[in-house]
Structure 1
Amino acid sequence: MPQHVAVFSATAGHRHDSIGAGAAALAELAAPEGLPVRHTEEPGELARLLGQGCAAVVFLSPTGEVLDDDARHALRAYVTGGTMGADHPLVWCRRVGAGRSFCTALGHAASAYAGPGFRAHLRGALLWSAGRAGS
């Protein structure tokens, strides 16, 4: 079973001040589950982490075109499944083959990552995405 979570937070436009708080919260939530977090803003490093078979990948407030061709290819291979369409929902999750993905548009304020409700939301999403919680 894969043993790490890749967190990617590159920005090519607006940068949310909450990225540091979000990365720290994810690391704190994943640690008791035996899931070390590998945080990067480099597309090449993301491609490498995805190629190692990570338990989950988190896109933490990225903006703009932040993936290079290698990272896109690695992400496609990791997720293996089409597009999400034109909708921009607040929160979604999706299972494609053995892969799982989760997206939340919440957490733009750094203070959100300290709130128990939002942390429970993140923990549940992290564990589901890593295949460690019920479907």
Structure 2
Amino acid sequence: MRLRSALSALALLVLAAPAWASMPTVLVFSKTTGWRHDSIPTAVAAVQRVAMQESLYSNATEDASVFTAEGLRGYRAVIFVNTTGDVLDAAQQQALHDFIEGGGGYMGVHSAADTEYDWPWYGELVGAYFLSHPPGLQTTRVQFTQDGIAANGREWKVTDEIYNYRSNPRAQVQVLATVTEADYEGGTMGGDHPISWCHAQGKGRAWYTGLGHDVPLYSDPTFLRHLARGLRYVSSRADDC
């Protein structure tokens, strides 16, 4: 009788469990040791909303101690949102390395490329390091390589802080979007200026966008579709990045 009651109680707990309890999870990480973007709270909240819409439960933290083999167990992907500087110690770096190389996903937003300059493997993961940006916010046309993101075709006009990178990553990655340097002042990469890309990293996946400095961007439907595409890829819910 007691066993039957216990089983009934367990069944009720299962039925009462929130829907996200069975969802795959992603870790949203926004620690900074350098420049800190005012957009971080808005960016984290937006990424978490997009994750929920994609049936991905998310945990957000700036506590790097989660980067252990045990701490990352159960996650599908980690998302670096406007991180800067040296955010992981040697043991935490090893945990992230093993997580990605073993099949996990990495997604970097904007200043994720302004992170971990002294760690060559992270440079491979993010695809290219930040070099500079023109002063202030400027407007440019973004050319996407895939349909379904821009409202009209594959071109989108955006106002944001437009990063220049130390190298052009095209030879090592699949470029997903470029910006048009002729539209603004201060570009240093010429006629081929990637701003978003993806690639395999060991058994894992990596996706990056250089956009995401300005707060209003996180309520722009096109940018949110862009982030959703990245989330689906790094969480292995889609093979097309």
TM-score range, shorter chain: 0.7 to 0.9
Partner of 1:94: 199
Where is the helix percentage greater, Structure 1 or Structure 2? 1
Q: Deviations along 1:34-80, whole A, 9 cap, x unmatched?
A: 21111111111243676314111111111111111222011110122
Kindly tell me: are residues 28 and 116 of structure 1, through their superposed partners in 2, closer, same or farther at Cα, counting changes over 3 Å? same
* Structure 1 length-normalised TM: 0.87
Residue pairs, 1:26-105, within 5 angstroms: 26-47=47-68, 51-80=72-101, 82=121, 83-84=123-124, 87=167, 90-105=195-210
What is the alpha-carbon distance in structure 2 between the residues aligned to residue 27 and residue 105 of structure 1? 18
Aligned AA (1:106): L
AA of the residue aligned to 1:41: E
Structure 1, unmatched stretches of 5+, are none
**Which stretch shifts more, 112-121 or 39-48?**
39-48
Find the residue that maps to 1:51 and give its secondary structure. Answer: coil
RMSD: 2.4
The partner residue of 2:224 within 119, 125, 131 is 119
Q: Is the 8 A contact 1:6 1:49 kept in 2?
A: no
The secondary structure found in structure 2 opposite 1:47 is coil
Secondary structure of 1:65 counterpart: coil
Identity of counterpart residues, as a percentage? 37
- Aligned AA (2:98): A
- Distance, in Å, in 2 between the alignment partners of 1:119 and 1:45 is 27
Residue 48 to residue 109, structure 1, CA distance change in 2 (3 Å): farther
Which one is further off, 69-78 or 89-98?
A: 89-98
Which has the larger displacement, 76-85 or 93-102?
76-85
Residue pair 1:9, 1:59 contacting (<8 A) in 2 also: yes
Higher relative contact order (CA 8 A, sep 6+): 1
Q: Separation in 2 of the partners of 1:33 and 1:114?
A: 17
The one-letter amino acid paired with 1:77 is: D
Which protein has the larger Cα radius of gyration, Structure 1 or Structure 2? 2
Query: Matched residue pairs, number?
Result: 135
